[in-house]
Amino acid sequence: MPETVISAQNLDLTFETNDGPVHALKDITLDIAEGEFVSLIGPSGCGKTTLLRVIADLETPTGGTVSVNGMTPDEARLARAYGYVFQQSALLPWRTIEENVALPLEVMGLDKATRNQRIVSNLELVNLTGFEKKFPWQLSGGMQQRASIARALAVEPAMLLMDEPFGALDEIVRDHLNEQLLKLWAKTKKTVVFVTHSIPEAVFLSTKIVVMSPRPGRIHEIIDCNLGTDRALDIRETPEFLRIAHQVREGLKAGHSYDE
Protein backbone atom coordinates (compact mmCIF):
# COMPACT_ATOMS: atom_id res chain seq x y z
CA MET A 1 0.00 0.00 0.00
CA PRO A 2 1.69 3.30 -1.12
CA GLU A 3 2.04 6.04 1.45
CA THR A 4 -0.28 9.06 1.57
CA VAL A 5 1.73 12.15 0.60
CA ILE A 6 -0.95 14.81 0.50
CA SER A 7 -3.76 14.78 2.99
CA ALA A 8 -6.43 17.46 3.30
CA GLN A 9 -8.92 17.30 6.17
CA ASN A 10 -12.10 19.41 6.14
CA LEU A 11 -10.46 22.33 4.33
CA ASP A 12 -12.34 25.60 4.26
CA LEU A 13 -11.29 28.81 2.60
CA THR A 14 -13.24 32.05 2.44
CA PHE A 15 -11.82 35.09 0.65
CA GLU A 16 -12.83 38.42 2.17
CA THR A 17 -13.44 40.67 -0.82
CA ASN A 18 -14.93 44.14 -1.20
CA ASP A 19 -18.14 42.53 -2.44
CA GLY A 20 -18.33 40.38 0.67
CA PRO A 21 -16.96 36.93 1.45
CA VAL A 22 -16.34 34.39 -1.34
CA HIS A 23 -16.56 30.81 -0.16
CA ALA A 24 -13.93 29.25 -2.42
CA LEU A 25 -13.43 25.89 -0.68
CA LYS A 26 -15.87 24.06 1.56
CA ASP A 27 -15.12 20.95 3.59
CA ILE A 28 -12.52 19.45 1.27
CA THR A 29 -11.20 16.09 2.40
CA LEU A 30 -8.79 14.36 0.06
CA ASP A 31 -5.92 11.88 0.33
CA ILE A 32 -3.37 11.48 -2.42
CA ALA A 33 -0.99 8.52 -2.39
CA GLU A 34 2.59 8.49 -3.54
CA GLY A 35 3.02 8.05 -7.28
CA GLU A 36 -0.59 8.88 -8.11
CA PHE A 37 -1.65 11.15 -10.93
CA VAL A 38 -4.66 13.06 -9.62
CA SER A 39 -6.69 15.45 -11.74
CA LEU A 40 -8.90 18.16 -10.30
CA ILE A 41 -11.69 18.88 -12.73
CA GLY A 42 -14.66 21.21 -12.57
CA PRO A 43 -16.18 24.34 -14.09
CA SER A 44 -14.21 27.53 -13.75
CA GLY A 45 -14.53 29.21 -10.36
CA CYS A 46 -15.03 25.96 -8.45
CA GLY A 47 -11.82 26.35 -6.47
CA LYS A 48 -9.38 24.07 -8.33
CA THR A 49 -6.62 26.65 -8.40
CA THR A 50 -7.33 27.63 -4.82
CA LEU A 51 -7.04 24.03 -3.62
CA LEU A 52 -3.73 23.62 -5.44
CA ARG A 53 -2.47 26.90 -3.99
CA VAL A 54 -3.42 25.80 -0.48
CA ILE A 55 -1.37 22.62 -0.94
CA ALA A 56 1.50 24.78 -2.22
CA ASP A 57 1.26 27.21 0.73
CA LEU A 58 0.44 30.09 -1.62
CA GLU A 59 -2.92 30.45 0.13
CA THR A 60 -3.78 29.89 3.80
CA PRO A 61 -6.98 27.96 4.53
CA THR A 62 -9.45 29.51 6.96
CA GLY A 63 -10.31 26.08 8.35
CA GLY A 64 -9.16 22.46 8.34
CA THR A 65 -5.69 21.03 7.98
CA VAL A 66 -3.38 19.98 5.15
CA SER A 67 -0.26 17.91 5.36
CA VAL A 68 2.21 17.57 2.53
CA ASN A 69 4.84 14.85 2.79
CA GLY A 70 4.05 14.65 6.49
CA MET A 71 4.80 18.35 6.98
CA THR A 72 2.79 21.55 7.08
CA PRO A 73 2.51 23.19 3.63
CA ASP A 74 4.88 25.90 4.85
CA GLU A 75 7.55 23.39 5.80
CA ALA A 76 7.00 21.43 2.61
CA ARG A 77 7.45 24.58 0.52
CA LEU A 78 10.69 25.51 2.25
CA ALA A 79 11.88 21.89 1.84
CA ARG A 80 11.11 22.19 -1.89
CA ALA A 81 8.87 19.16 -1.70
CA TYR A 82 6.94 20.17 -4.78
CA GLY A 83 7.42 21.84 -8.15
CA TYR A 84 4.64 24.18 -9.23
CA VAL A 85 3.71 24.71 -12.88
CA PHE A 86 1.52 27.75 -13.50
CA GLN A 87 -1.11 28.35 -16.13
CA GLN A 88 1.36 30.57 -17.97
CA SER A 89 4.97 29.55 -18.24
CA ALA A 90 6.15 32.50 -16.08
CA LEU A 91 9.64 32.28 -17.59
CA LEU A 92 11.69 35.39 -16.85
CA PRO A 93 12.20 37.21 -20.17
CA TRP A 94 15.72 38.42 -19.36
CA ARG A 95 16.96 34.88 -18.77
CA THR A 96 17.72 32.30 -21.44
CA ILE A 97 15.99 28.93 -21.21
CA GLU A 98 18.91 27.36 -19.36
CA GLU A 99 19.17 30.34 -17.02
CA ASN A 100 15.46 30.03 -16.31
CA VAL A 101 15.87 26.39 -15.40
CA ALA A 102 18.81 27.44 -13.22
CA LEU A 103 16.70 29.99 -11.31
CA PRO A 104 15.37 27.69 -8.56
CA LEU A 105 18.76 26.00 -8.37
CA GLU A 106 20.45 29.35 -7.73
CA VAL A 107 17.90 30.11 -5.02
CA MET A 108 18.70 26.74 -3.45
CA GLY A 109 22.39 27.62 -3.51
CA LEU A 110 23.53 24.65 -5.59
CA ASP A 111 27.00 24.80 -7.10
CA LYS A 112 27.55 25.42 -10.78
CA ALA A 113 28.43 21.86 -11.73
CA THR A 114 25.26 20.46 -10.16
CA ARG A 115 23.20 23.20 -11.77
CA ASN A 116 24.61 22.48 -15.21
CA GLN A 117 24.06 18.77 -14.85
CA ARG A 118 20.42 19.30 -13.85
CA ILE A 119 19.84 21.80 -16.66
CA VAL A 120 21.09 19.32 -19.23
CA SER A 121 19.17 16.33 -17.94
CA ASN A 122 15.86 18.16 -17.43
CA LEU A 123 15.88 19.98 -20.74
CA GLU A 124 16.52 16.61 -22.33
CA LEU A 125 13.57 15.17 -20.43
CA VAL A 126 11.20 17.72 -22.01
CA ASN A 127 12.88 17.54 -25.44
CA LEU A 128 14.34 21.03 -25.40
CA THR A 129 17.96 20.12 -25.96
CA GLY A 130 19.43 22.66 -28.38
CA PHE A 131 17.30 25.55 -27.12
CA GLU A 132 19.39 26.34 -24.02
CA LYS A 133 20.57 29.72 -25.27
CA LYS A 134 17.22 30.94 -26.59
CA PHE A 135 15.17 33.52 -24.76
CA PRO A 136 11.62 32.50 -23.78
CA TRP A 137 10.01 34.98 -26.17
CA GLN A 138 11.84 33.30 -29.04
CA LEU A 139 10.01 30.00 -28.42
CA SER A 140 6.46 28.84 -29.10
CA GLY A 141 3.89 28.64 -26.31
CA GLY A 142 4.21 24.86 -26.10
CA MET A 143 7.98 25.02 -25.84
CA GLN A 144 7.75 27.70 -23.18
CA GLN A 145 5.45 25.52 -21.10
CA ARG A 146 7.81 22.55 -21.52
CA ALA A 147 10.67 24.75 -20.32
CA SER A 148 8.64 25.68 -17.26
CA ILE A 149 8.06 21.98 -16.56
CA ALA A 150 11.80 21.37 -16.85
CA ARG A 151 12.33 24.21 -14.40
CA ALA A 152 9.91 22.61 -11.92
CA LEU A 153 11.53 19.20 -12.33
CA ALA A 154 15.06 20.58 -11.90
CA VAL A 155 14.33 21.10 -8.20
CA GLU A 156 13.91 17.29 -8.05
CA PRO A 157 10.72 17.56 -6.01
CA ALA A 158 8.77 14.56 -4.80
CA MET A 159 5.61 15.91 -6.41
CA LEU A 160 4.43 18.17 -9.20
CA LEU A 161 1.52 20.58 -8.82
CA MET A 162 0.24 21.70 -12.22
CA ASP A 163 -2.45 24.33 -12.74
CA GLU A 164 -3.92 23.96 -16.24
CA PRO A 165 -0.42 23.91 -17.71
CA PHE A 166 -1.68 23.31 -21.23
CA GLY A 167 -4.88 25.38 -20.98
CA ALA A 168 -3.60 28.17 -23.20
CA LEU A 169 -2.31 25.88 -25.95
CA ASP A 170 -4.09 24.58 -29.02
CA GLU A 171 -5.55 21.09 -29.19
CA ILE A 172 -2.79 19.47 -31.27
CA VAL A 173 0.05 20.80 -29.14
CA ARG A 174 -1.89 19.86 -26.04
CA ASP A 175 -2.35 16.23 -27.19
CA HIS A 176 1.33 15.99 -27.86
CA LEU A 177 2.30 17.43 -24.50
CA ASN A 178 -0.17 15.12 -22.74
CA GLU A 179 1.61 12.12 -24.21
CA GLN A 180 4.98 13.51 -23.19
CA LEU A 181 3.76 14.28 -19.69
CA LEU A 182 2.48 10.73 -19.30
CA LYS A 183 5.85 9.30 -20.34
CA LEU A 184 7.56 11.67 -17.96
CA TRP A 185 5.33 10.56 -15.12
CA ALA A 186 5.94 6.88 -15.89
CA LYS A 187 9.67 7.52 -15.94
CA THR A 188 9.99 9.70 -12.84
CA LYS A 189 7.27 8.11 -10.66
CA LYS A 190 6.40 11.50 -9.23
CA THR A 191 3.10 12.27 -7.55
CA VAL A 192 1.20 14.71 -9.77
CA VAL A 193 -1.76 16.93 -8.92
CA PHE A 194 -3.10 18.30 -12.17
CA VAL A 195 -5.82 20.93 -12.61
CA THR A 196 -7.78 20.86 -15.84
CA HIS A 197 -11.20 21.52 -17.22
CA SER A 198 -10.83 19.12 -20.10
CA ILE A 199 -12.49 15.73 -19.62
CA PRO A 200 -10.37 13.81 -22.19
CA GLU A 201 -7.20 15.26 -20.73
CA ALA A 202 -8.18 14.19 -17.22
CA VAL A 203 -9.22 10.67 -18.23
CA PHE A 204 -6.18 10.16 -20.41
CA LEU A 205 -3.66 11.21 -17.78
CA SER A 206 -5.05 10.31 -14.38
CA THR A 207 -5.18 7.47 -11.93
CA LYS A 208 -7.81 9.37 -9.98
CA ILE A 209 -10.19 12.12 -11.05
CA VAL A 210 -11.56 14.54 -8.46
CA VAL A 211 -14.78 16.12 -9.75
CA MET A 212 -15.44 19.46 -8.10
CA SER A 213 -18.53 21.68 -8.08
CA PRO A 214 -18.85 25.41 -7.54
CA ARG A 215 -20.42 27.83 -5.04
CA PRO A 216 -19.04 26.87 -2.65
CA GLY A 217 -16.18 24.85 -4.13
CA ARG A 218 -16.37 21.28 -2.90
CA ILE A 219 -15.61 17.73 -4.00
CA HIS A 220 -18.54 16.14 -5.76
CA GLU A 221 -17.11 12.76 -6.61
CA ILE A 222 -13.81 10.91 -6.84
CA ILE A 223 -13.50 8.55 -9.82
CA ASP A 224 -10.83 5.89 -10.10
CA CYS A 225 -9.38 5.69 -13.52
CA ASN A 226 -6.57 3.43 -14.47
CA LEU A 227 -6.11 2.71 -18.10
CA GLY A 228 -2.81 0.86 -17.69
CA THR A 229 0.66 2.30 -17.77
CA ASP A 230 1.37 2.04 -21.47
CA ARG A 231 -1.27 4.38 -22.89
CA ALA A 232 -1.16 6.06 -26.26
CA LEU A 233 -3.51 8.74 -27.55
CA ASP A 234 -5.66 6.22 -29.44
CA ILE A 235 -6.82 4.79 -26.12
CA ARG A 236 -9.36 7.59 -26.25
CA GLU A 237 -11.43 5.53 -28.67
CA THR A 238 -11.69 2.49 -26.37
CA PRO A 239 -14.98 1.70 -24.57
CA GLU A 240 -13.27 1.86 -21.17
CA PHE A 241 -12.05 5.39 -21.84
CA LEU A 242 -15.47 6.48 -23.07
CA ARG A 243 -17.15 4.91 -20.05
CA ILE A 244 -14.98 6.87 -17.59
CA ALA A 245 -15.34 10.06 -19.62
CA HIS A 246 -19.10 9.61 -19.49
CA GLN A 247 -18.98 9.09 -15.74
CA VAL A 248 -16.94 12.30 -15.29
CA ARG A 249 -19.38 14.21 -17.49
CA GLU A 250 -22.35 12.97 -15.50
CA GLY A 251 -20.55 13.94 -12.30
CA LEU A 252 -19.90 17.45 -13.59
CA LYS A 253 -23.52 17.80 -14.66
CA ALA A 254 -24.90 16.65 -11.33
CA GLY A 255 -22.48 18.83 -9.37
CA HIS A 256 -23.26 21.90 -11.37
CA SER A 257 -26.79 23.03 -10.63
CA TYR A 258 -27.92 25.12 -13.57
CA ASP A 259 -30.13 27.22 -11.39
CA GLU A 260 -28.96 30.69 -12.40
Partner 1 sequence: MSVFRPNWQALMSLLATLYSLTAVPFTDSMGSGTPLIVVAILLAGALASMLRLSFALEAAVLTLASFGAAAVLIGGLADAFGTASRGYFAALGAAWLLGWRLVTVLSGDGSRGSDGGGGTAIIVPALFGLWVVILWECIVRGAGVPFVLLPPPSAIGLKITNSTSILAADFKQTVLKAVLFGYVVGSLTGFLVAILADRFRFFANGLLPIGNMVSALPMIGIAPVMVIWFGFDWQSKAAVVIVMTFFPMLVNTLAGLAASSDMERDLMRTYGATHWQVLLKLRLQAAMPFIFNALKINSTLALIGAIVAEFFGTPIVGMGFRISTEVGRMNLDMVWAEIAMAAIVGSLFYGALALLERSVTFWHPSYRR
Ligand X SMILES: Nc1ncnc2c1ncn2[C@@H]1O[C@H](COP(=O)(O)OP(=O)(O)O)[C@@H](O)[C@H]1O
Q: Which is nearer to ligand X, 25 or 81 (CB)?
A: 25
For partner 1, which residue of 42, 61, 104, 217 counts as binding (CB under 8 A)? 104
Q: Which does 93 bind (CB under 5 to 8 A by kind): Mg ion, ligand X, partner 1, none?
A: partner 1
DSSP codes, 11-39: EEEEEEETTEEEEEEEEEEEEEETT-EEE
CB of 50 closer than 8 Å to CB of 24: yes
Q: Which is nearer to partner 1, 94 or 258 (CB)?
A: 94
CB of 216 closer than 8 Å to CB of 24: yes
Judged by CB under 5 A, does residue 50 bind Mg ion? no
Judged by CB under 8 A, does residue 186 bind partner 1? no
- How many whole angstroms separate alpha carbon 180 and alpha carbon 128? 12
Q: Which does 242 bind (CB under 5 to 8 A by kind): partner 1, ligand X, Mg ion, none?
A: none
Collapsing DSSP to helix, strand or coil, 77 comes out as helix
Of 142, 255, 162, 252, the closest CA to residue 199 belongs to: 252
Q: Find all residues with CB under 8 Å of 177, minimum gap 6, and list them.
A: 142, 145, 146, 165, 166, 169
Q: Which does 217 bind (CB under 5 to 8 A by kind): ligand X, Mg ion, partner 1, none?
A: ligand X
x/- mask, partner 1, residues 120-139, rule CB under 8 A, reads ---------------x-x--
User: Interface with Mg ion by CB under 5 A: which residues?
Assistant: 49
User: Interface with partner 1 by CB under 8 A: which residues?
Assistant: 56-58, 77-80, 82-84, 86, 88, 90, 92-94, 103-104, 106-108, 135, 137, 155
